[in-house]
Amino acid sequence: MSQLEETTTRARLRWICICGLAISLYSLHVKWQLDQNADYVAMCDLAEKVSCTAVFKSDYGRGFGLTQLLFGSTSSSYLNPPNGAIGSVFYVLLFVSSFFEHRWLCLLQLLLSIVTLLLCFYLGFLLLFVLFDCCVVCLLVYVVHTLLFLEVQGRYKRLHLQSSQKLALE
């Protein structure tokens, strides 16, 4: 792979992380506004059944609804953070790790992107069949994670091929 293609791949991954971070920060903003004012109406509330605030207010708006199973619903906010906070940390860490070209790090990125893609399927199922809602912010996150998975998978394949070619030459 040429240096230009390699730089383009890194830039795409970083832009995906920046988009994911922006969406996560917006969801944190909405969640904070909801905590301050229960009547807050966000830009992403387009209709009764197209509402991100309904999703963020639900039990699944914190810790993906999974941390409540482990720590209980009355646990501290540190043990049950909003999904946007978890996403923000994830995107920042992935952005920083994109500056390094190690095969093991790329494998870790690939595994994390698979886990987050599975979380997207889980949350999408809950969105449609439990909450009976459509969340524009959530849908954007699902698109970002799909693109993220595809980009990291391509990056891993490239690093794996480079390693294999180096071993074959030796």
Tens-place pLDDT, residues 53-108: 999 989 899 888 888 777 776 656 677 899 999 999 999 999 999 998 888 899 99
In single-letter form, the type of residue at position 44 comes to C
Domain 1-168 falls under CATH 1.20.1250.20: no
Spatial separation of the C-alpha atoms in residues 170 and 165, rounded to whole Å: 9
What's the pLDDT score for residue 116? 96
* Helices within the chain (DSSP H only): 3-36, 52-57, 67-71, 83-97, 103-129, 136-169
Spatial separation of the C-alpha atoms in residues 106 and 6, rounded to whole Å: 14
Spatial separation of the C-alpha atoms in residues 55 and 64, rounded to whole Å: 11
For residue 99, give the DSSP letter: T
**pLDDT over 90 at 128, yes or no:** yes
Domain ranges of the chain: 1-168
